[in-house]
Structure 1
C-alpha cells in the first residue's frame, strides 16, 4: 500500500477526532453522575470506543510512516490490531441499540418509558463490548498460530497470512460481515425509516425534532455505508475468493473517519451534548461569523 496518503488520513482523523471525542466524553461523563438516560449511557460507550481507537491509531501512523513496515514486536502488533478492530465493531454495534431506543420511544412512548432504565443500557453496552472483544480475539489466534512451515516476512503487521491461517481467518471474517455489520445496518435502517415516517405523520411534532431525526438517520447511515461498508466488503470478497485481498488495507481508511462523524450523531441524538457549554459557544461563534459575512456581502452589494 502507498504509505503517504494512508499516513495523511490517519493524521487528519487523529487531529479532528481526538478533540471532538474528548469534548463528548467530558459532557457525557458529567451527565452519568446526574440521572443519565439510557441514550446518554450508550453514547458514552460509543465515545469511549472512539477514544480507545484514537489512542491506538498512533501505532498505525508509525506503520505508515515506516513505509508500511512493522519494526516493533509481533506481540505489540497483535495488541494494537486487536484494539483497532475491536473498537471498529463496538462502534457499529452500539449504533444499533441507539436506533432501537429512538424507535421504541416513538412507537410505544408510554410503555417504553416505564421499561426504559439506565441499567439495561449499561448491561447492553457491556454485552456489546464483550461480543466485539471475543470476536476480535481471532487476531491473537491468527498471529500466534504455530506453523513450522511459515515463510512470511516478520516486518509486516497483520497483512500476509499462511494457508493454514486463512482456513480459520476467512470464515471468521465472513461471520463478522454478517453478524457485526449487516445485522446492525438492517436494524438501523428499519428503525430510522420508521422513525422518520412516524414523525412526519404526527402534525404536532415540531419541525426541529423532524430535522434532528433526519440528521440522525443520515449520519448513522453515512457511517455504516461510507465508513464501515468498504472494510466489511473486503471480508466478503476474501471469503469468496479464498484469499485476503491486499487492497483491504485501503478500506480501513474510511473506517477511521468514523471517529470524526460520530460527534454529529451525538449532536442530533443528545440534548446533553447539544446544550453543553462548548457546543453552545461553537454554535454562537458559527452564527455570528455567518451573520458578519452576510452583512459584509450586503455592504459590498450596496456599494456597487
Structure 2
C-alpha cells in the first residue's frame, strides 16, 4: 500500500487496509495453535525417537525449526493486524518481516533436500544405506546461510525513514506501521525486475523443477519394479520402502503446489500492480491487491501441513507417536530417572 492514484481514493485505501488486516489476523490465528503444537511435537519425536534413523531426519528437523520460528512470530503479527499499531519497535518489526521470508525459502530448500534424498535412496539404495550425518549437517548449515543472505533484500528494501505525506494518507504514525505498511525504497525498473526474476527463478521455479523430477523418477522406478515383479524377486520390505518414499516426495510436491505456487504467481503481478504500470488496469490491480494477502497466508500454511506430512509419510514417526509407544517411553524415562536417583544416593552414602 502506498500513494493514492487515479485507481484508488482514500475510501478504497481504508477498505483495502481493513480487508488485508482482517485476512491476516483470521488466517494467522487459525494457523497458530496447530502449527505450534505440530512442530513442537515433531521436534520432540525426532529428538527422542528417530535420532538413529537412516532417513532424511536432519532435513525434517531443520524444516520443523523453520516452521516453528515462523509460528512463534505469529502472535506479534496477529496483535498488529488486530490493533493497527506496532508498539514493539522498528527493529523487532523488521526481524519479524524478515523471518517470514526466511521461513518460506528455508522450507522450500529443506523440502527439496528431503525429496532428493528420498529419490536417491530409491534409485541408489546401496549408496544411501548409511546415515550421512556430517554431510547432511553441512548442507543444512549452508542452506540456512544461503537463504538468510538471499532474503536480506526483503527488509533492506523497506524504508525506515518517516514520511509525513504517507502519515497524512494512512492515518498511522510511521513508527506504528509494520509489515505491509512499511514504505518501499525507490528502485529502477531494471533493478526491481532483476530481483523479482531472481526470487521467482531460484526461489521457486528451480526447486519446483527438482521436486517434480524427483517425483517422476521415484514413481518411474516403482512402476518398473511393478512391471518386472513376476520375474525378479524383490527383497522383503523393499517395495513398501519405495512406496513410502514416493508418498514423501508426492507430499513435498503437494506442499509446493498448495502453499508456495499461489504466492509466486501473484508475486510478480503484485509488483506490477504496486508499480502502477500504465498497462495495468484498475480492475487488474484491485484483484491482485485483494488476492495477494490470501496467497501470502497460504505460504504460511506449510507450518501446519509439514507435521501432517511427517505423520502420514514416515512410518517410524507415526508408530512412535501412537499412544502405547508414548506411554512406554514415559515409563522407561521414569525408570531411568529412579535408577539414576538411587545410584546417586548410594554413591553419596559413607563407606
Name which of 20, 30, 40 aligns with 1:12: 30
Question: Who is 2:300 aligned against?
Answer: 256
What does residue range 1-304 of structure 1 map to in structure 2 within 5 Å? 1=17, 2=19, 3-31=21-49, 34-37=51-54, 39-67=56-84, 69-113=85-129, 117-144=132-159, 151-153=165-167, 154=174, 155-160=176-181, 161-162=183-184, 164-165=186-187, 171-202=194-225, 203=229, 204=234, 208-209=240-241, 211-239=243-271, 243=275, 246-247=289-290, 248-278=292-322
Distance apart, 1:145 and its partner CA: 6.2
Contact 1:50 1:259 in 2 (8 A): yes
Question: TM-score when scaled to structure 1?
Answer: 0.79
Compared CA separation, residues 224 and 40, structure 1 to 2 (3 A)? same
> Gaps (5+ residues) in structure 1?
283-304
In 1, the alpha carbon distance for the partners of 2:244 and 2:270 equals 38
CA contact (8 A) 1:213 1:268 kept: no
Deviations 1:237-265 (A, max 9, x none): 24556729644233211112111110132
Return the alpha-carbon distance in structure 2 between the equivalents of residues 192 and 21 of structure 1: 25
Q: d(CA) in 1 for partners of 2:313 and 2:90? A: 40
Corresponding residue pairs, total? 278
Q: Secondary structure in 2 aligned to 1:8?
A: helix
Residues 35, 303 of structure 2: 8 Å contact kept? yes
Alpha-carbon distance, 1:139 to partner: 3.1
Is residue 4–residue 64 contact of structure 1 (8 Å, CA) maintained in 2?
yes
Conserved? CA contact 2:49–2:320, under 8 Å: no
C-alpha RMSD of the superposition: 2.9
Taking the aligned partners of 1:233 and 1:166, their CA distance within structure 2 comes to 22
Q: Unpaired runs of 5+ in structure 2? A: 1-16, 168-173, 277-287, 327-351
Cα drift, residue 124 of structure 1: 0.9
Task: Please give the per-residue CA displacement for 1:87-118, whole angstroms capped at 9, x wherever unaligned.
Answer: 1110011111111111111112223436x511
- Conservation of the 8 A alpha-carbon contact between 2:70 and 2:103: yes
Please, which moves more after superposition, 100-109 or 46-55? 100-109
TM-score between both structures, scaled by the size of structure 2: 0.70
Q: Secondary structure at the match of 2:180?
A: coil
Higher alpha-carbon Rg: 2
